[in-house]
Amino acid sequence: MEQLAPIAIFLFVLFLLLGSGVWVGLALMGVAYVGMELFTARPAGDAMITRIWAASSSWTLTALPLFIWMGEILYRTRLSEDMFRGLAPWMARLPGGLIHTNIVGCTVFAAVSGSSAATLTTVGRMSIPELRRRGYPEPMVIGTLAGAATLGLMIPPSLTLIVYGVTINESITRLFMAGVVPGLVLALMFMAYVALASRLSKDFAPTPEPTLSLLGRLKVSRHLLPVLCLIVVVIGSMYLGYATATEAAAFGVLGALALAAAQGSLSAASFGASLMGAVRTSAMIALILAGAAFLSLSMGFTGIPRGLADLIAGFDLSRVQLILALLVFYIVLGCFLDGISSVVLTMAVVEPMIRAAGIDLIWFGIFIVVVVEMAQITPPIGFNLFVLQGMTGHGMGFIARAALPMFLIMVVMVFVLIAVPGLATWLPDSLRQRPGG
């Protein structure tokens, strides 16, 4: 195969740069620069400037820093604590008790955050001390938190879906809508596991919660209303066609600031910290996207993406076989790269294969997110595992074993998506059929 030499050079330079500690975005630019110099006659510097500017000036990409800022505001104010207080009385009656607050709390916070790390840190900071104090099994506390925090990657607003949409030029709003139903189904699968495991485990004997009347629970639930209202404004405005993803993100930031100010937890310090946190995260992702855009251009000149697509097509794989091959590929890749880097690094090669196989790009975006979620809890680079290690003091091996059931549930979710693709496509299709959709 004539593309073997370029592929070998690209991979060698990439792993050399990544192994030397260079930032992912700069490593991608370095690989692309080498490729342009070796395999094309076009000036590499001129191509890099043009491509990076085109990738960075996308209006759709404006939603990314806004959604990140909204999550940072909630993370640094008392809104997240109030959310937990409102959830606890309702979860205590379920099989598995307050363990469900990890899952439901992550699901709710994911709908206003978009970041797995922010979801994990926020919910974990609240739930871990409370669950420990009540005597819940530590592996179940850690495992459910590690798995459920990944819902921040799927339930809108999802940063990974924004990056995927920008990379393949697909509607961010439709991708967001596609993530709603699979995200809720995955959360229910996590909760079903907790209910079953709590019944089968001999070590599950937490301190019983005091019984509250329906009126008492409703009274405590008032703490949930601010966050729920924000979710309705952000997601509802997109679904009803009143706002694009970028406009909805702006509404979310204004709403989060207004709620934090009304609550009295918005200060100059928290405002500045949230803004700087959003800038740091946004700049990191933007650099990765810029590097990936330049790498895609460079690889396009070598003919690697088309050559690989033709090679795969020569194997005459069915759609399911192709999806299963990509599942294994992304799981292995996730052991070494974070989710966003995996998506932008591979899309130039994978997208032609998917289009040629006739696979729906919206559905494939949700498939990618589920597999990227697995990478968040897969050693040795699983980011959620590192965050939990810092929060709990446990060893990486303990945390990885605790998260293993959540990983297996995500594998099951992939097969559910293959068997019932409508889970991902029904809502965005109904959105497109609406007036103005």
pLDDT by residue (tens digit) across 278-316? 888 778 777 877 887 787 777 777 766 666 656 666 677
> What pLDDT is recorded for position 2?
56
Distance of CA 171 to the CA centre of its chain: 17
pLDDT top residue among 418 and 262: 418
CA distance 309 to 301: 15
> What pLDDT is recorded for position 419?
93
Q: What's the average model confidence in pLDDT over 408-424?
A: 93
Min mean pLDDT across 49-63, 150-164, 312-326 is at 49-63
In tens, the pLDDT along 212-228 reads 677 777 777 777 788 78
CA distance 275 to 272: 5
φ, ψ of residue 203 in degrees (nearest 5): -90, 0
Calculate what percentage of the chain has a pLDDT beyond 90. 12
Confidence class for position 242, pLDDT limits 50, 70, 90: confident
Angle between helices 159-168 and 268-302 (to 10 degrees): 30
Confidence class for position 389, pLDDT limits 50, 70, 90: confident
Whether 259 shows a pLDDT value over 80: the answer reads yes
C-alpha dist (Å) from residue 4 to 7, 294, 304, 345: 5, 20, 9, 18
Whether 252 shows a pLDDT value over 50: the answer reads yes
> What pLDDT is recorded for position 406?
92
CA distance 54 to 57: 5
Whether 437 shows a pLDDT value over 60: the answer reads no
> What pLDDT is recorded for position 350?
84
Whether 145 shows a pLDDT value over 70: the answer reads yes
Structure tokens belonging to residue 135: 């005597």
Q: What's the average model confidence in pLDDT over 405-425?
A: 93
Residue-wise DSSP of 31-74: HHHHHHHHH-SS-HHHHHHHHHHHHHT-SGGGHHHHHHHHHHHH
Q: What's the average model confidence in pLDDT over 251-280?
A: 86
Q: Which range, 72-86, 123-137, 338-352, is most confident?
A: 123-137
Q: Token pair 């996308």 is at which residue? A: 58
Q: What's the average model confidence in pLDDT over 20-43?
A: 81
Whether 197 shows a pLDDT value over 80: the answer reads yes
Helix%, strand%, coil% for the chain, nearest 5: 80, 0, 20
Whether 436 shows a pLDDT value over 50: the answer reads no
> What pLDDT is recorded for position 306?
63
Confidence class for position 172, pLDDT limits 50, 70, 90: confident
> What pLDDT is recorded for position 422?
92
Whether 136 shows a pLDDT value over 90: the answer reads no
Q: Token pair 């965050």 is at which residue? A: 387
Angular region, 420: left φ>0, alpha ψ -120 to 50, beta rest: beta
Whether 188 shows a pLDDT value over 90: the answer reads yes
Classified as helix, coil or strand, 417 is helix
On average, the pLDDT of the chain sits at 81
> What pLDDT is recorded for position 435?
45
C-alpha dist (Å) from residue 417 to 103, 149, 223, 332, 346: 20, 20, 35, 20, 21
